[in-house]
Amino acid sequence: MQFIHSEEQQLIRATARGFLAAYDPARVRAAMRAPGGFDADLWQQLSGELGWCGLAVPEAYGGAGLGWVELCLLQEEQGRRLVASPFFGTVALAAPLIQAAGTEAQRAGWLKRIASGGVRIACALSGEQGHPPPQGAAVTLDTHTGRFVLNGVSDFVIHAEGADAFLVLARGPQAGALSLVVLPASTRGITLEPHVMLDLTRPMARLSFQDAPVAAEQVLGAPGAAAAAAERGLNLALIALAAEALGGAERVLEMTTEYVKQRVQFGRPVGSFQAVKHRLADMMVQVEAAKSAAWYAACVADEASEELAEAAAIAKSYCCDAFFDCAANAIQLHGGIGFTWEHEAHLYFKRARASATLLGSPAWQRERLMRVLGADAAAAPVY
Amino acid sequence: MKLGFTPAEERFRDEAASWLRGQLAGPFRDLRGETSMSGRLERRMQWERALGAARFSCIGWPQEFGGRGATLAEQVIFAEEYARAGAPGRIGHMGVELAGPTILTFGTAAQKARFLPPIARGEEFWCQGYSEPNAGSDLANVRTRAVLTDAPGGREWVLNGQKIWTSLAQFADWAFVVCRTEEGSQGHRGLSYLLVPMRQSGVTVRPIRQMTGEAEFNETFFADARTAADNVVGAAGDGWRIAMGTLAFERGVSTLGQQMSFRNELGAIMQAARANGLLADPLIRQRLAHAHIGLKLMRYSALRMLASAEAGRLSNEAYTYKIFWATWRKKLGELALDVLGPRGEIASAPPYEWALLPSVFLASRADTIYGGTNQIQRNIIAERALGLPREPRGS
């Protein structure tokens, strides 16, 4: 039992924090306006010389062979800085789906490219209503004159603009089955319409598929056999997203603590009033519990798979709720300045809200948790 | 970062679990699942002695004082197995978790030799003399006085004053008492930490009935009560530091295993919800899920505290653990009554006996008060962990 980050892991965190120290809110805002909504220079650095994209990719595929614990440290540090980058979509979402669903050849092909930073992959997982995957998958994989084609609409695709490839969670080809398909973004029959989203740091787009052709080798694993792999890959992604939310929550707590120490009203720092300090204490209680949730889940991802769905649901729901509460408190405790466009509090608040929605809301995760525990609507969990 | 216990620790778990199961299926089966804080005292004192005889009472203490020198991991494992087995609440808790560790850390060799073995054997029981009518959250405001006096058998402390909320004082043999030993001193200066025998004519104990209907705590009056001059832990005047040390123990290892008994309580709520159909109610399902998440987070946080302590690192979660579990359990009690519905408000027996879940509802109201109220906890978190300015003090 060593539920504490090792020296090596702390070094990874410190290095990431040092590197991102220069990534200030001005750069977040620049990234929001940049083509594709991300900081191309930063992506170049972290995917290139820093090797972040390959950190959790097995060595056989050109990665560093480290685990989800280490990857989640990078997620936390990026969450602290609201980094706008395709890292999460490519490395924490697409990669584990490919790793879980792909054949050896497909894994070797795609994971090598991901590890080297040579590819950005956007995942099309939900339909127009944005219901969480895998149940929310809406695109269909059909057989058309002996060849596979994709049809339908997938919405809320993060970092779709500028992606080199799309990973599509599709229904079919058999009734009730799920498939995962990776295909180049330039494939004909795919139309992309970007949205302006609440959270400007994580752009999303709607993808329409009209008889988009799919070569047999673009279907990951056996056609129609992706359900279990999708489940595993999505759980890993939820854990990485929870880690990112934890980083954001921790950062807004720090920001707000600093602010109430220096803001003086009634002749004393506002942080000396219990009405203020008790809110900050509650934020810290949530942040500490969120650390436990996210770190435990990351450990589970690396070792004990039977707890994976439970730990992922707990981490996603708790960390996203905590981030939202902390970001909302940050606005309140900053007063008027916290409500301005100029201050970064709203950027965290919006990221918090959008992260909570992404891949299934906290309430949805809690309902999923009840089912994971064995409690469908008619039966109590075995406790 | 690594989860799971070592094979040696798992062997210890098996040993502890099998002993506990054997006892609670055999000679102590009548105590299995006992939920009251102070009911059936005689039997529970026997249980404490059985724990002592098997060296399962104070496993973290050195062997010479009746312990096993167990690691923190083993202490957590034992606490988990203790609750899993449905063993009764420890009425020896004040000695085992508070007085003992304080004496172990701050006491003299003679004090350790005199006081620790009888605690570990379940032969001497303790109570805590901290709070007074005007010293609750403001503990430094204690008024109970002690004066060193010449007596035929040697010098003695003579105590006068009143303590309150002294849990289990009615059968305690000893009390650890924070009192003022410097005339005219104020606040946390001039306090001493005395060990005082309870069975003497200068000590009067009056039970206070709680909102649960039980009378687990008391008022304790000292009127020329006496204790030997040696029975001071640390130096005279150093009582505040020692008392704060005891509170740290209260927030430490002793809380790590408690989520197993909380798990039993949540399990009973899940069962009740299934039995009466409320498990199909989406709002109840959300609250059950929240409760399960909180329970798991307590476990994860306990494991973090354990790992940090073993690595000798300062751990922030230690500041937040008390308010987290206390708030969680209070909500659990409310959920319990919502799941039980109107039948949950019918007592199980006169005069005012309650089944497990209504007991949780009632008893949990104290969780956010004792050992530092939620409001005091928030001050501590804000001032010590976040470094916010201190609360202005009245004169």
B384 at interface of A, judged by CB pairs closer than 8 A: no
What are the pLDDT digits (tens) for B60-98?
899 999 999 998 788 888 988 998 898 998 899 899 989
Tens of pLDDT, residue by residue over B216-236, are 899 999 999 999 999 999 999
What does the radius of gyration of chain B's CA atoms come to, in whole angstroms?
22
Residues of A in contact with B304 (CB under 8 A): 3-4, 291-292, 295
Q: What range does the domain containing A242 cover?
A: 227-372
* Shortest CA distance from B268: residue in chain A: A383
φ and ψ at A5, to 5 degrees?
Answer: -70, 135
Query: Considering its fold, how many domains does chain B have in total?
Result: 3
Closest by CA position to A51, among listed A116, A99, A112, A111: A116
pLDDT at res. A145: 83
- The pLDDT, as a whole number, for residue A251 is 98
Average pLDDT over residues A77-106: 97
Residue B291 C-alpha, separation from nearest chain A C-alpha, in angstroms: 10
Q: What does the pLDDT read at residue A359? A: 98
Nearest chain B residue to A298 by CA: give it: B1
Same domain, B303 and B371: yes
Verify whether the Cβ–Cβ distance B280 to A296 is below 8 Å: no
Give bridge partners of residue B159 from the DSSP assignment.
B146, B225
Give the Cα separation of A116 and A160 in Å (integer). Answer: 20
| Contact between residue A327 and residue A352 where contact means Cβ atoms under 8 Å apart | yes
Q: Do A288 and B307 touch (CB under 8 A)?
A: no
Which is it for strands B174-180 and B126-129: parallel, antiparallel or unpaired? parallel
Residue A318 sits at the vertex; the CA angle it makes with A313 and A320, to the nearest 5 degrees, is 100
Average pLDDT estimate for A178-183: 98
Q: Are residues A101 and A142 in the same domain?
A: no
User: Does some domain include residue A231?
Assistant: yes
Q: Which residues pair with A327 in a beta bridge?
A: none
Q: Does A282 touch chain B (CB under 8 A)?
A: yes
Domain for residue B163, yes or no?
yes
Residue A381 lies in a domain: no
For residues A156 and A141, membership in a common domain is answered with yes
Looking at residues A290-307, what average pLDDT do you find?
Answer: 93
Does some domain include residue B117? Answer: no
- Same-domain status, B56 and B159: no
Co-location of A239 and A194 in the same domain: no
Based on the domain organization, do B279 and B328 belong to the same domain?
Answer: yes
Shared-domain flag, residues B283 and B376: yes
d(CA B113, CA B101): 13
* Number of residues written out for chain A: 383
DSSP conformation class of B157: E
Asked if residue B45 is part of any domain, the answer here is yes
Task: Answer whether B286 sits within 8 Å of A363, measured CB to CB.
Answer: yes
CB pairs under 8 A between A and B: 174
Do B77 and B23 lie in one domain? The reply is yes
Q: Rounded mean pLDDT of chain A?
A: 96
Q: Are residues B265 and B184 in the same domain?
A: no
At B72 the pLDDT is 79
Q: Any residues with CB less than 8 A from the CB of B384 and at least 6 apart, and which?
A: B319
Mean pLDDT check: name the lowest of A267-276, B168-177, B184-193, B243-252.
B243-252
* pTM for this model (two decimals): 0.94
Task: Please report whether residue A196 resides in a domain.
Answer: yes
pLDDT for B311 beyond 80 = no
The domain boundary residue, chosen from A218, A235, A262? A218
- Residues of B numbered 250-279 whose beta carbons fall under 8 angstroms of chain A's beta carbons: which are they? 263, 266-267, 270-271, 273-274, 279
Among candidates B1, B279, B387 on the partner chain, residue whose Cβ is nearest the Cβ of A299: B1
Do A96 and A63 form a contact (C-beta atoms < 8 A)?
A: no
Residue A370 has what pLDDT?
A: 96
Whether residues A116 and A126 fall in one domain: no
Question: Looking at chain A, which residue has its C-alpha nearest residue B301?
Answer: A292
Is residue B120 domain-resident? no
Cβ-Cβ contacts under 8 Å for A376 (sequence gap 6 or more): A370
pLDDT band at B249 (very low <50, low <70, confident <90, very high): low
CATH number of residue B165's parent domain: 2.40.110.10
Q: Is any Cβ of chain B less than 8 angstroms from the Cβ of A361?
A: no
Q: Which position among B48, B124, B250, B265 bears the catalytic label?
A: B250
The answer to the question of residue B363 being in a domain is yes
Give yes or no for A206 touching B (CB within 8 A). Answer: no
Residues B233 and B263 in one domain: no
**pLDDT on residue B254:** 62
- What is the pLDDT averaged over residues A207-227? 97
Contact state of A272 with B389 under an 8 Å Cβ cutoff = yes
Q: Do B300 and A300 touch (CB under 8 A)?
A: no
Same domain, A291 and A211: no
CATH number at residue A53: 1.10.540.10
CATH number of the domain that residue A168 is part of: 2.40.110.10
Considering the domain architecture, whether residues B283 and B198 belong to the same structural domain is answered as no
For residue B169, the model assigns a pLDDT of: 94
Percentage of chain B beyond pLDDT 70 is 96
Q: Confirm whether A1 is domain-assigned.
A: no
Residue A378 pLDDT more than 70?
Answer: no
Nearest to B382 among A280, A291, A303 (CB): A280
User: Look-up: residue for tokens 């995942």?
Assistant: A123
User: Is residue B141 a part of any domain in this protein?
Assistant: yes
Question: What are the pLDDT digits (tens) for A343-367?
Answer: 999 999 999 999 999 999 999 999 9
Residue B2: which of A2, A272, A318 has the nearest Cβ?
A: A2
Question: pLDDT band at residue B153, thresholds of 50, 70 and 90?
Answer: confident
Tell me which of A60, A90, A120 is where a domain ends: A120
The four Cα atoms A244, A248, A250, A253 give a dihedral, to 10 degrees, of -170
Q: Is the pLDDT of residue A16 over 60?
A: yes
Q: Which of B46, B71, B91 is the last residue of a domain?
A: B91
Domain assignment present for residue A380? The answer is no
Q: What is the CATH number of the domain that holds B268?
A: 1.20.140.10
Examine residue B119 and state whether it is found in any structural domain, yes or no.
no
Whether residues B284 and B377 share a domain: the answer is yes
Which of B306, B300, B304 lies closest to B253, judged by CA? Answer: B306
**pLDDT value at residue B251:** 56
Q: Whose structure tokens read 């089955």?
A: A177
Give contacts of B320 with chain A, Cβ < 8 Å: 284-285, 288-289
Residues A289 and A332 placed together within one structural domain of the fold: yes
CATH number at residue A294: 1.20.140.10
Q: Are residues A101 and A17 in the same domain?
A: yes
Question: Does any CB of chain B come closer than 8 Å to the CB of residue A284?
Answer: yes
Q: Do A380 and B271 touch (CB under 8 A)?
A: yes
The structure tokens listed for A141 are 């994989």
CATH number, domain of B63, equals 1.10.540.10
Report how many domains make up chain A: 3
What b-and-e string marks burial along B97-106, b requiring 16 or more CB atoms within 10 Å of the CB? bbbbbbbbeb
Q: Are residues B377 and B284 in the same domain?
A: yes
B250 catalytic residue (yes or no):
yes
Average pLDDT, chain B: 92
Same domain, A18 and A111: yes
Asked if B301 reaches chain A (Cβ–Cβ under 8 Å), the answer is: yes
A residues 318..347 contacting B (CB < 8 A): 318
> Residues A246, A367: one domain?
yes
Residue A329 CA to residue A345 CA, distance in Å, equals 10
The per-residue pLDDT for range B279-296, each reduced to its tens digit, is 999 999 999 999 999 999
Domain that holds residue B54: 7-91
The pLDDT of residue B75: 86
Report the C-alpha gap between A347 and A325 in whole angstroms: 14
Q: Helix %, strand %, coil % for chain B, to 5? A: 50, 15, 35
Which of A320, A158, A344 shows the shortest CA–CA distance to A244? A320
A329 contacts A283 by C-beta, under 8 angstroms: yes
Which residues of B are less than 8 Å from A381 in CB distance? Answer: 270
Same domain for A114 and A148? no
Q: Residues A82, A103: one domain? A: yes
Q: Which of A272, A289, A369 has the CB atom closest to B297's CB atom?
A: A289
B108 in a domain, yes or no? Answer: no
B80 versus B103: the higher-pLDDT residue is B103
Given A193, A218, A243, the domain boundary residue is A218
Looking at the fold, whether A116 and A128 belong to one and the same domain comes out as: no
Residue A257 lies in a domain: yes
Amino acid identity of residue A260, one-letter, is V
HEC letters along A193-257? EECCCCCCCCCEEEEEEEEEEECHHHECCCCCECHHHHHHHHHHHHHHHHHHHHHHHHHHHHHHH
Quote the CA–CA distance of B5 and B307 in Å, as a whole number: 12
Inform me whether the C-beta atom of residue A208 falls under 8 Å from chain B C-beta atoms.
no
